[in-house]
Structure 1
């Protein structure tokens, strides 16, 4: 199987069909990342399409020193952040994973789970958009500090500090609430 660099070179030589391979390879992964940031499946689809078009138009700026996936994710996250700044979209509420609450759950446990997610969303809303996004990348996508650093274009130390401060702010809020679902985080 040919790697990304082969297809990138073909696209840059004028073979627009070669971009189809890259789209097929990354569109679902991008969708998963972007869906975590926006509330709506349709908005996520639109953003993925915009990001892929933007990546195509800026492909000549890609430097093969890093992975294409990291470059594409960084470009996409920056594009989404631009959209957030324009107040076109709101950052995502934490979405329940599909089938996380299985059908065997009782109505009470479903309600408690929903209430827990709502509480977590309120805690996340306390954070600045960029910090919230970094926290979501860390804990919902399981990305390493290095990967997040590369995606958001900030030093690893900055990413670590932002995550630390975000968790500290959330902890402080939990302490002020004196209880709640996340009191055990302390």
Structure 2
């Protein structure tokens, strides 16, 4: 039995403390996903808390047949998309990690600028393609997990990922940037 499913069963049986294991396991990868979507650390923290409340409330609806991880990400992605549609776009913030880097200011500036340009290119992709890219490369979900998370076929996942990477490569070539967007992966 999957460890997540074991914890879900414990929670549903009345052991509310078992939910701590779910939170500990998924808080960092979910936060990273949300932060990439919102580009705002405070908003990401707020949404993360909302998502964990929402997941807890919906645990009785988890059918325990599919992957808990996919189910969790589906709730998280949908919640973020709903919230982002309600709000105006947020201004970009320089990540804390970049500010405290040991690199020279020139290297930090170049890395930050490359990262911003790539984020801009990704942000103009259609929502479905951007979400698939994020799940695949930021969260390292398999094609099957993405398919289950988004409720689309495996072929659709592959096609949309291919189209997204093709658009990014085209933008990179037109802009003269080289970010290593490969055909495979």
Q: Map Cα deviations across residues 71-111 of structure 1 (whole Å, 9 max, x no partner).
A: 11221112112222333665x979769469941x3322222
In the TM superposition, residue 124 of structure 1 has moved relative to its aligned partner by 1.4
Correspondence for 1:128: 126
Correspondence for 1:29: 29
Structure richer in helix, relative to its length: 2
- Correspondence for 1:119 among 117, 142, 148: 117
TM-score relative to the length of structure 1? 0.79
In the TM superposition, residue 62 of structure 1 has moved relative to its aligned partner by 0.4
RMSD after superposition = 3.1
- Supply the distance in 2 between the matched residues of 1:93 and 1:150 (Cα, whole angstroms): 31
Structure 1 unmatched ranges of 5 or more: none
Q: 1:3 to 1:143 in 2, by over 3 A?
A: closer
Correspondence for 1:144: 142
Correspondence for 1:61: 61
Structure 2 unmatched ranges of 5 or more: none
In the TM superposition, residue 49 of structure 1 has moved relative to its aligned partner by 1.0
1:77 is aligned to 2:73? no
Q: How many residues align?
A: 181
| C-alpha contact (below 8 Å) 2:98/2:108 kept by paired residues | no
| C-alpha contact (below 8 Å) 1:74/1:152 kept by paired residues | yes
Correspondence for 2:171: 173
| C-alpha contact (below 8 Å) 1:146/1:156 kept by paired residues | yes
